[in-house]
Structure 1
Amino acid sequence: MKRVLSILILFLVLGSSVEAQLVSGFKEIVLTQKSDDRNMGHQSSSTSAEDAPQARSVVPQPVYAYLANGEVTVYFETVFPTVAINVINETTGKTVCSKTLLSPTNFSIDLNGEDSGEYIIEVISDGTSFEGTFSL
């Protein structure tokens, strides 16, 4: 009986947690790193020990973005000296926000009043570029 009661309480807690996340309206904008230095044209067909795939650890995401109530908030897990942020309406091609920031930890962009549609956010620093899409 204790086990059933424990499981029931667990489901209630998890269910209310999920409901709270949905009510708050936060949506993560998935940012992917863009890289142009991946040239695959010079690969040979034979693989030596030094060319073999190497085991790699998971690299933490240095930038996160969230959308809530028409506002995009960008959080930086890594210190970047200078960051350029652009938000572009994908439908019209119009840049609705373009900012350059010095050593930001977080930054919010109020997009209330902008047209509904698909948008692109770009976060660029020191030759590293992150991009994500979201809908208003």
Structure 2
Amino acid sequence: MTAARVATWATTGAVVIWAVKAVAIGTAGGLDRSPAESPLFLAGMLTFLVGVVAIGLAVTAGRGLAVRLLGVLGAVTGLFVAWMVIDTAIAALAPEQDPHWVWEELQLWVIAVLTAVGWQVWARREPATAPAAVG
């Protein structure tokens, strides 16, 4: 399986897992009331990290080991920075008086969806130059 395919499955999987987590939280009546909440968070986070690492590898496919490692480091660092920016923005928008549990979970959904959609856009774009035919 290629890194691009792993990135697609993992980023989409993180969205699905964290959506299921949201349903579990909502069904239970709020945060820390569902026994499924923590395992689903962990499964989503692991899936998300696999997806981010796979994005770094897919973007640097065909390059040397050092470039691929830098690609992975760049992907993880970039997504961490994006996560912090999104988290800060959401915290600034959240109501101060008794915010709903959704405000606590919103950054997960936003970063997961942006990553999955961003990867899909990147993966489906037309290559800038077609590879030369060998023959």
Q: Highest relative contact order (Cα 8 Å, sep 6+), 1 or 2?
A: 2
Fold match (TM-score > 0.5)? no
> What's the TM-score once normalised by structure 1's chain length?
0.22
> What's the TM-score once normalised by structure 2's chain length?
0.22
Is the strand fraction higher in 1 or 2? 1
Is the helix fraction higher in 1 or 2? 2
